[in-house]
Amino acid sequence: MKRIFFAALALTLVFMACKKEEVEPTTNTTTNNNGNGNTNQPTQPTEEFYAKVDGVEFVETDVEVTYNSGTLTIKASGPNNTRILLNVPKQKAVGTYSFSNPFVGDLGGYYNDGDSPYACPTGTGTLNITYNSPSTFSDEGEIRGFFSFDAEEYEFSTGNDSYSITEGEFSVTYQ
């Protein structure tokens, strides 16, 4: 039941991407939905997110990190409603992992081209967590890493067959 809820949550977020901005950081928001009342607290503009979509640099306009039931969702939004979204368990250790089934796994990679959602099927992508400092006693922390994946269209999508998300990199804080 939880997996169906998280899959539905991820799919919802996909419907709602990514360049490292060196000159002027974007405004970022962290949302904590664990019931302790800390919601929509702005973070320092230190978040970084970069990726290429089919070899073209993804230009993010906003990076948002949400935390819900042990899972961090890192969402980079770009122009024309494009988005790249990563689901990562908060307590995931430093290491390299394969993305799992987008509907039943704990690691997920998603892309939305502005018209249709795409997901990373099992085994077509990796996430390399290079730093993760979650606190066992609070909901604050920082996570950094690299990622790449192939995003394939859902059955009801009407867009391209797939997209290649490469050279992905992120460094975000959450609270």
Q: What is the pLDDT of residues 138-156, one digit of tens each?
A: 668 899 999 999 998 876 5
Share of the chain above pLDDT 70, in %: 65
Q: How far apart are CA 151 and CA 140, in angstroms?
A: 30
Share of the chain above pLDDT 90, in %: 40
- The band of 25, judged by pLDDT with boundaries at 50, 70 and 90, is very low
The token pair that represents 168 in the structure block:
């992905």
57-67: average pLDDT: 93
36-51: average pLDDT: 57
Q: How far apart are CA 12 and CA 134, in angstroms?
A: 25
Q: What is the pLDDT of residues 155-171, one digit of tens each?
A: 655 666 889 999 999 99
- Do the beta carbons of residue 161 and residue 169 sit within 8 Å? no
Query: Mean pLDDT, the chain, as a whole number?
Result: 75
Sequence spans of domains, the chain: 2-174
Give strand ranges (E) for the chain: 28-32, 41-42, 48-53, 56-57, 62-68, 71-77, 83-89, 95-98, 108-112, 117-119, 125-132, 141-153, 162-174
Q: What is the pLDDT of residues 105-129, one digit of tens each?
A: 678 899 999 988 888 887 789 999 9
